[in-house]
């Protein structure tokens, strides 16, 4: 062993070698550890130093197995968990390509060199078209602090223009009480309240810029319509399928038993089968959902679902379907009666 300073670092070097080069399927002999220490750190040591330092690491709490060679037996994340996290980053619509690559590189470092081969497809992915907001990580950091401190935030809220750039929706900044951040349908949302509205509003986090935490306390949750007793987040997401704002309404719809997978995917298990016809295998389902969300969901599954109530929703769907029928059965581009676009969030 050369030099006292290097000797002090030996235990950390051995730990790094074990983390990087070993697992339950790849054991290292003392000789292999010595070779890797020399190759990667320019350090030479003897077998006794290897064993002594590994025993110290075990005493300190690291799960290192010594029965048949040396290997790092357990980590904070197993490979399956890391793969899920990496795939989540890849499928996110919020982060830019460069931010995604940095996150993936950090996640890959949580495992060893053998995991790298399992996710080699990540390196060869083509560039994904993303409308990345470079301030995204700053926004998330400030929101975390504000939610923890119970303070309102001030920010510019934007929409995309025809130049594919973000533009402020209004001159004055939004002042919002932040309560939760949630991921839904590949997008990241802030659940908060603006004083001019009585209920929860959803803000796309990737459209927030110039955020600051204020000294103003958030509005107490008990004063927010619909969540006076606190958030039931799974139910809130199920009732606000497309993250539209506003209250939920009771809905009844007729469909077939084959739609059960889709119903559970979208609404969880917070719905009831109130009528079943065994002969035709049709069912009538009762649930609560945001009005606008149910409108668009019903159009999406229109071939398999019939809304029975509320009557105003049924009528609006009928009118929209009639308009669509006229548009698609008329001359190409001949229908000038365009409906005004709806926003999924504030």
Complete DSSP assignment for 212-254: EEEEEEPPPGGGSBT-TT---HHHHHHHSTT---S-EEEEEEE
Distance CA 295, CA 88 (A): 28
Contacts of 267 (CB under 8 A, 6+ apart): 238, 239, 241, 287, 289
pLDDT of 342 strictly over 60 = no
Cis peptide before 97 (omega within 30 of 0): no
- pLDDT tens per residue, range 82-109: 887 887 777 666 677 777 788 888 888 8
- pLDDT tens for 212-261 read 999 999 999 888 887 877 777 777 776 676 677 777 899 999 999 999 98
Work out the average pLDDT over 53-62: 93
262 neighbors 283 (Cβ within 8 angstroms)? no
Fold observed for domain 4-72: Arc Repressor Mutant, subunit A (1.10.10)
Asked whether the beta carbons of 188 and 94 are under 8 A apart, the reply is: yes
Q: CA nearest 166: which of 153, 176, 157?
A: 157
Distance of CA 102 to the CA centre of its chain: 17
Q: At 20, phi and psi to the nearest 5? A: -80, -35
Q: What share of the chain is helix, strand, coil (3-state, %, to 5)?
A: 40, 25, 35
Query: Which tokens go with 109?
Result: 């470092």
248-329 CATH, one of 3.30.70, 1.10.1790, 3.30.1490, 3.40.50:
3.30.70
How far is the C-alpha of 271 from the C-alpha of 238, rounded, in Å?
A: 10
């Amino acid at each position: 062993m050369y030099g006292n300073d290097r000797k002090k670092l030996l235990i950390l070097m051995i730990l790094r070698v074990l983390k990087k080069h070993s697992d339950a399927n790849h054991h290292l002999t003392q000789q292999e550890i010595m070779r890797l220490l020399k190759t990667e750190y320019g350090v030479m040591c003897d077998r006794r130093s290897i064993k002594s330092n590994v025993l110290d690491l075990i005493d300190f709490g690291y799960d290192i197995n010594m029965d048949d060679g040396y290997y790092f037996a357990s980590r904070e994340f197993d490979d399956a968990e890391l793969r899920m996290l990496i795939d989540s980053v890849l499928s996110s619509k919020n982060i830019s390509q460069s931010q995604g690559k940095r996150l993936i590189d950090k996640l890959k470092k949580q495992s060893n060199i053998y995991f790298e081969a399992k996710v080699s497809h990540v390196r060869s992915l083509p560039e994904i078209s993303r409308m990345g907001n470079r301030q995204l990580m700053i926004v998330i950091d400030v929101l975390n602090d504000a939610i923890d401190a119970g303070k309102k935030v001030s920010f510019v809220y934007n929409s995309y223009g025809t130049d594919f750039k973000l533009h402020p929706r209004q001159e004055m900044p939004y002042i919002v009480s932040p309560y939760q951040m949630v991921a839904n349908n590949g997008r990241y949302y802030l659940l908060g309240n603006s004083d001019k509205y009585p209920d929860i509003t959803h803000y796309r986090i990737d459209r927030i810029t110039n955020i600051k935490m204020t000294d103003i306390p958030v509005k107490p949750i008990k004063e927010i319509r619909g969540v006076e007793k606190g958030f039931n987040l799974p139910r809130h997401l199920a009732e606000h399928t497309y993250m539209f704002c506003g209250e939920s309404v009771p809905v009844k719809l007729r469909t077939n038993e084959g739609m059960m997978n889709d119903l559970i995917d979208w609404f969880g298990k917070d719905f009831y089968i109130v009528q079943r016809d065994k002969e035709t295998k049709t069912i009538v389902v009762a649930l609560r959902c945001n009005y606008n969300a149910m409108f668009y969901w019903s159009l999406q599954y229109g071939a398999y679902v019939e809304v029975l109530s509320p009557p105003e929703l049924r009528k609006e769907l009928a009118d929209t379907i009639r308009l669509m029928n006229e548009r698609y059965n008329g001359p190409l581009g001949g229908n000038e009666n365009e409906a005004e676009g709806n926003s999924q969030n504030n």
